[in-house]
Amino acid sequence: MAGMPERSRRQTSSLSKSGPRPPIPEPLPHPTFHSSVNFLYDIGRVLLDFDFESSIATILPPETPDREERLFRMLDRKDEFETGKIDTNEYITWALEVLGSTATHDEFTHAWRHIFTPNEPMWARVRQLAADGHKLILFSNINGIHAPWIFEEYPEFSLFQGAVLSFQTGFIKPEPGIYQYAITHHGLVPEDTIYIDDLPQNCATGRELGFRTWQYDLHDHAAFEAWLAEQLATAPV
């Protein structure tokens, strides 16, 4: 997903924008291959890191009780929002009530959007994959506040030829329906498609459906590069 916390502490922890970041490794040499490969790319914690809690906290009054609990409660309607079952205005109104915030809708939207930091090592790889002629497709649990805004804020998303976004499809990862949507609408063969996501439950569904899947770790981009080199070296001709 792009920009919403998950329920476990492991999933809500984020790299601080102001804290130390992992070193940016030099891309590993990419192997020679004889055909293009399809790629499904998650956004959050793969292409863009995010710090949701710090940004949303800026619209909470300093005296707000139970700040962490209020942030956590915003998850209660997460799936509804990310599958388009409630619209943006309805969600913002509800979220501001949960937070006990007097912020305007515009102020909430600004805080909600300005949580991202590009993952530069992965973008370097994306640029190379695009130059090599691979088909790149975004595959994200995302909401109407973040999309299409992020595509304007980060122009390099234009390197992707398509997108499967949960709030537009009505499906959400890790449900199989959104994977089947991607297969059908983009003519994918899972066995010939590389899928990159940071969450284990999403990766599990990908593997069950036959995708060549990698669970990405922002702190270990080099491991992804090594795995990718093997995958491209064995890509079907």
Digit-coded pLDDT (tens) for 127-138: 999 999 999 999
pLDDT at 198: 99
Pick from 195, 192, 147: nearest CA to 174: 195
Q: What is the per-residue pLDDT across 2-25, written as a single tens digit (0 to 9) for each?
A: 555 444 333 333 333 444 444 444
pLDDT at 62: 85
CATH topology for the 9-17+28-50+117-233 domain: Rossmann fold (3.40.50)
pLDDT grade for 100, boundaries at 50, 70 and 90 = very high
3-state SS assignment for residue 235: coil
| Separation between Cα atoms, residue 164 and residue 129, nearest integer Å | 19
Work out the angle at residue 107's Cα, subtended by the Cα atoms of residues 105 and 110, and round it to the nearest 5 degrees.
110
Average pLDDT, the chain: 88
Question: What single-letter DSSP state applies at residue 201?
Answer: H
pLDDT at 1: 52
Residues 6+ apart with CB under 8 A from 102: 61, 96
pLDDT grade for 234, boundaries at 50, 70 and 90 = confident
Bridge partner list, 165? 140
Contact 101, 108 (CB under 8 A): yes
- Give me 158's structure tokens: 């234009």
Peptide bond into 200 cis (omega under 30): no
| Separation between Cα atoms, residue 157 and residue 163, nearest integer Å | 10
pLDDT at 124: 98
Q: What is the per-residue pLDDT across 154-200, written as a single tens digit (0 to 9) for each?
A: 999 999 999 999 999 999 999 999 999 999 999 999 999 999 999 99
| Separation between Cα atoms, residue 103 and residue 189, nearest integer Å | 46
CA 44 to chain centre: 3
| Separation between Cα atoms, residue 84 and residue 20, nearest integer Å | 36
